Amino acid sequence: MSAQPFPVQALAGLRVLALGQALSALIGGPLAGAQVELAGLERLTALGFADADLIIIDADAWDPAALDLIVKALAACPAPPPTLLVGARLPTSVVRNLLRLERADILDAPYSDENFAATVAALVCEKTPAVAPAGAAVARCWAITGAVGGSGATTLAIEIATALCTRQSPAKGKSVCLIDLNFADGAAAAYLGSKPAMKLADFSQSVERLDVAMLQAFVTPVTPQLDLLAAARDPAAFEAVSREAVLRVLEVSCESYDWVILDMPRHRRSWSVEALGGCDEVLVVSELTVPALIAARCLSDEIDRALGSDRKPRIVLNRLAGRMFGPAPSMAEAEKALQRKAEAGVSSDWEAAAASVNLGGPIATHRPKSKIVRDVHALVERLAAEPARRSAAAQKAA
């Protein structure tokens, strides 16, 4: 959102309905010049809002159930005025319904006058673009997929996203988004001990409603730098979520974060090739068994053919053990079966992996000294240091 100071003349005569006494503090500040009416939620129920150009609601002043009713009432009207919800405790269900309005935004308290003014400006001037404008910074996006089930794709996607966070300046705030595209039975939220909040099926027929603001209603914050987009388990989800909705979420995510990590389902969906085509790296995770290595080779070839670009998927061998129990291929034998070099190996550490999923959170948090963390770090540093490979989408546009 623009941080431009709000042009004062644009507020002159603006009729603002401010619901919550604490909002009176804004009258002499960023709302100077506007005609502000301070009222309670009942004002909306009794008189409606036809006489307001902007509604500001203080979420901290009202209980979530009452807020929910009001927001639903606004959503039921054909053309509600732009609505801004502010507060230190923004109830998720209220936020989700609010952001379904044509023009609405949220602002976490505490906020600065400048931030408030810029948010109001964008809302009333309808300057908030549905998505960031063309030319806006676009994330680097890496997809992680498993050659066979259980090879460690979700584990490595989480660790890669976490390792990327450590490369970002803490002052930057949110900059990495992990997206679990296994809609039917994704495990990323469970591994992180987080609650999945993405509900894409509702938007399958109206993808244009999915914008930067709406995305925020879907994310689950994991750390100050990492957000998770994941859906609750649903066996029918792949049929219920449209291709357009998935691609739109990816597009908007790439405009909102510096890094986007996709935990991809192994089976190809109608959107898989396009999703991979938008990535600048595709990592195929395999374990060190002969069937997994053969599957990794086949899957890499399939992706390679489908993308038809010079960006070959990279194979990551997971759960390398120093001393194997029973006959297992060596790294050299593995590369022979793969008919190509592996990009990297990640050590096996069952204790660290199991402890972390049981506690809920990345291995880097619960077992920072694990060899898994060290190996993933090395992989991330190497790949991130390379210039971003141009995605198929970017190549087409050129």
Ligand X SMILES: Nc1ncnc2c1ncn2[C@@H]1O[C@H](COP(=O)(O)OP(=O)(O)O)[C@@H](O)[C@H]1O
Which positions touch ligand X (CB under 6 A)? Answer: 146, 149-155, 187, 318-319, 346, 348-350, 353-354, 357, 372
| Shortest spacing between CB 153 and ligand X, in angstroms | 4
Residue 343 half-sphere exposure toward CB, CA atoms < 13 A: 23
Name the closest residue to Mg ion (Cβ).
154
Residue 344 · residue 313 · CB < 8 Å: no
| Shortest spacing between CB 171 and ligand X, in angstroms | 31
Determine if 154 is a binding residue for Mg ion (CB under 5 A).
yes
Between residues 90 and 148, which has the closer beta carbon with respect to ligand X?
Answer: 148
Between residues 88 and 354, which has the closer beta carbon with respect to ligand X?
Answer: 354
Determine if 318 is a binding residue for Mg ion (CB under 5 A).
no
| Shortest spacing between CB 378 and ligand X, in angstroms | 14
Interacting partner of 225 out of ligand X, Mg ion, none (Cβ under 5 to 8 A depending on kind): none
Give the C-alpha separation, 182 to 161, whole Å. Answer: 17
| Shortest spacing between CB 153 and Mg ion, in angstroms | 5
Q: Tokens 């269900």 label which residue? A: 93
| Shortest spacing between CB 358 and ligand X, in angstroms | 9
Question: Where does residue 156 fall: left (phi above 0), alpha (psi -120 to 50 degrees), or beta otherwise?
Answer: alpha
Between residues 272 and 318, which has the closer beta carbon with respect to ligand X?
Answer: 318
| Shortest spacing between CB 177 and Mg ion, in angstroms | 17
* CB contact set of 32 (below 8 Å; sequence gap of 6+): 8, 11
Binding mask 202-221 for Mg ion (x = CB under 5 A): --------------------
Residue 374 · residue 346 · CB < 8 Å: no
Between residues 153 and 282, which has the closer beta carbon with respect to ligand X?
Answer: 153
Strands 35-39, 54-58: parallel, antiparallel or unpaired by DSSP?
unpaired
Interacting partner of 262 out of ligand X, Mg ion, none (Cβ under 5 to 8 A depending on kind): none
- Which part of the chain contacts Mg ion (CB under 5 A), choosing from 55-63, 147-155, 316-324, 354-362? 147-155
> Which residue type, as a one-letter code, is found at position 25?
A
Question: What separation in angstroms does the CA of 394 have from each of 19, 135, 140, 180, 252?
Answer: 46, 12, 12, 23, 16
Between residues 59 and 299, which has the closer beta carbon with respect to Mg ion?
Answer: 299
Residue 168 · residue 176 · CB < 8 Å: yes
Determine if 151 is a binding residue for Mg ion (CB under 5 A).
no
Report which secondary-structure segment, H or E, holds 282. strand 281-287
- Which part of the chain contacts Mg ion (CB under 5 A), choosing from 27-35, 50-58, 136-144, 145-153? 145-153
Could you give the strand order of the β-sheet that contains 83-87, starting from the edge strand earlier in sequence? 35-39, 15-19, 54-58, 83-87, 104-108
Between residues 97 and 348, which has the closer beta carbon with respect to Mg ion?
Answer: 348
Between residues 54 and 288, which has the closer beta carbon with respect to ligand X?
Answer: 288
Between residues 153 and 282, which has the closer beta carbon with respect to Mg ion?
Answer: 153
CA angle, 12 then 38 then 55, to 5°: 65
Q: Which of 281, 261, 254 is nearest to 385 (CA)?
A: 281
- Which part of the chain contacts Mg ion (CB under 5 A), choosing from 87-95, 150-158, 228-236, 335-343? 150-158
Determine if 286 is a binding residue for Mg ion (CB under 5 A).
no
| Shortest spacing between CB 266 and Mg ion, in angstroms | 9
- For residue 347 the two structure tokens come to 């050590």
- For residue 354 the two structure tokens come to 């199991």
| Shortest spacing between CB 149 and ligand X, in angstroms | 5
Q: Helices H, strands E: what count in the chain?
A: 16, 13
Between residues 39 and 153, which has the closer beta carbon with respect to Mg ion?
Answer: 153
Give the C-alpha separation, 252 to 244, whole Å. Answer: 12
Residues that bind Mg ion (CB under 5 A): 153-154
